[in-house]
Chain A
């Protein structure tokens, strides 16, 4: 018989983390779960409603619309940022002074707070005084993001691409730097074209960092709130009301805590589901 000694004091070492996680994740999440199954009135009156809010949210056209907008936004920015980021990282110098300059320039947008980015682009794109907006209009384009849905979308996407492509660039640059020289030398000896080098050496070696990049950008873009809020507040009309904007409107604008909580949970599960799908697809075939 084997004797196993357990040292219960080890719990003391994990306790701080457990407490921290409890306060910033588990307790808030459970509060939301609690709200999502109850009807709330003033004076802290709660009535149990079961799955009612979930059914309501899932059936509501409003939710469908904002979810669709959200998916559209996320897939557009992924389709732009990932290839663009990889292309920029391939074009960046590998060593020397200019490599450092490029890295610092690339890191710059990542250091700017969300609402500052939103405010910057808002002013930049204003059709009457903004550099971009005024220039476009004087060139004959009718551009006004405060009333044209397409202009609002284009501005929002340009803003996100400007802000976050750097993340993909940095990750993919790190991935490229980790490829040993011998691979490039072997490819030269084998007479490979630059496309073949990209296709058979660089891309396979970038697979892991790109998985991370796609997951991070997916989750982040699904959570985007500040930029559209600062730019148009979700307008014109509801055209840029993405999921998070809609959620805040329900929760804090209308103070419908029950439906808002149910929507948060659905929102959370959607992110989880998509992340899982991405991860599974991008890493399949790795196990065998």
Chain B
């Protein structure tokens, strides 16, 4: 059990990195509390697996430090760090039985056989593997094998953190949900820090208490799913999380509000003056765009250009003085046609300067 601090982590796979672009991890400062469920979310190649391997000790960072409960572990091996990892593709010891697989980490550490037995049975019970303990691990299905991987992590009582590297990649869709709930349930039971790496926002948002969003080697935001949704700190978070993503359009600032295409848009929170010459954008999620009578107070004139039905709601695409703005209309509500008006919810409208939020 441990609190994890990552301070000034940078990593490059090149021997002599010079510029930012040479780094797979550009700058990471994070604090992870003991017993939390965290997700590391980002597209392929954003540096999340690199970060994971640095925490587990499979990779040494070029710069920065990793503290477990305040103790530097940078030079310690994965074994000494007492971590567990579940990989993207199931890793089981094929020739061993399920029982021996689960017992393996304990036996390697010289735990007496009677304790091994008790612990293995307990973990098998937790991970629903009891019925298969005597089977050869090679014969199990992909989700069974991932349970073994997970079980090998849980079986050690002194484990500091369990990490998951896109563990559901090879699992059948109908079992994904089941395994994810199992994970969540196990986390609540054992309260070990868990870090879950994924590029799937549904997986991240349903598993984690806190989600860390990564983009091109940067941590762009750390927050609860609600924070990520309601107040994205970076335009990347805005369009990566949510379906469809945030509407973004270039804007100017005027006293207490924004100007887009000559129209004034109210913003609830006052914003500080951004750096001169910064590229300003206004962002609002489709969920916070509502249709109003055109010509009414504060209405922005738009033309409806298309409608997509997602089942639960309709995505209405509109054209607002040359910018594409999407709005969500719940099932059963009328969908306007032709020229109409929209309104942005001022408390959920944000201004971004060079992609970062202005507050």
Contacts and interface: CB of A to CB of B under 8 A. Distances in A.
* Chief secondary structure at chain A's binding surface: helix
A185 B79 contact: no
Nearest to A182: B87
B318 interface: no
Contacts of A190: 104-105, 108, 152
Given A182-B88, A182-B91, A189 B104 contact: no
Interface stretch (B11-19, B93-101, B270-278, B306-314): B93-101
Contacts of A180: 89, 91
Interface in A117-134: none
Given A191-B79, A204-B94, A204-B95, A185 B87 contact: yes
A189 B85 contact: yes
A183 B145 CA distance: 13
Interface stretch (A75-83, A193-201, A224-232): A193-201
Nearest to A190: B105
Interface string A217-242: 00000000000000000000000000
A179 to B, nearest CB: 10
B58 interface: yes
Contact of A189 (B78, B88, B94): B78
B46 to A, nearest CB: 20
B334 to A, nearest CB: 53
Given A180-B89, A182-B88, A189 B95 contact: no
Give the contact-size bracket for chain B: 20 to 34
Kindly name the residue among B83, B95, B139 whose own CB sees the greatest number of chain A CB atoms within 10 A: B95
A192 B108 contact: yes
B350 interface: no
B77 interface: yes
Contacts of B89: 180, 182
B132 to A, nearest CB: 15
B214 to A, nearest CB: 21
B108 A196 contact: yes
B89 to A, nearest CB: 6
Contacts of B96: 200
A239 B246 CA distance: 86
B108 A191 contact: yes
B84 A189 contact: yes
A95 to B, nearest CB: 14
Nearest to B152: A190
A191 B105 contact: yes
B58 A185 contact: yes
A186 interface: yes
A185 B108 contact: no
Contacts of B174: none
A185 B55 CA distance: 13
B109 interface: yes
A188 B85 CA distance: 10
B108 A186 contact: no
Contacts of A205: 94
Contacts of B193: none
Contacts of A193: 108
A201 B93 contact: yes
Contacts of A196: 104, 108
A185 B79 CA distance: 10
Contacts of B50: none
A182 B139 CA distance: 19
B116 to A, nearest CB: 13
Contacts of A185: 56, 58, 78, 85, 87
A29 to B, nearest CB: 40
Contacts of B104: 190, 192, 196, 200
A186 B149 contact: yes
B91 A183 contact: yes
B109 A191 contact: yes
Given A180-B89, A182-B87, A193-B108, A188 B95 contact: no
Nearest to A186: B91
10 contacts: A182-B89, A185-B58, A185-B85, A189-B79, A189-B84, A190-B152, A193-B108, A200-B95, A200-B96, A204-B93
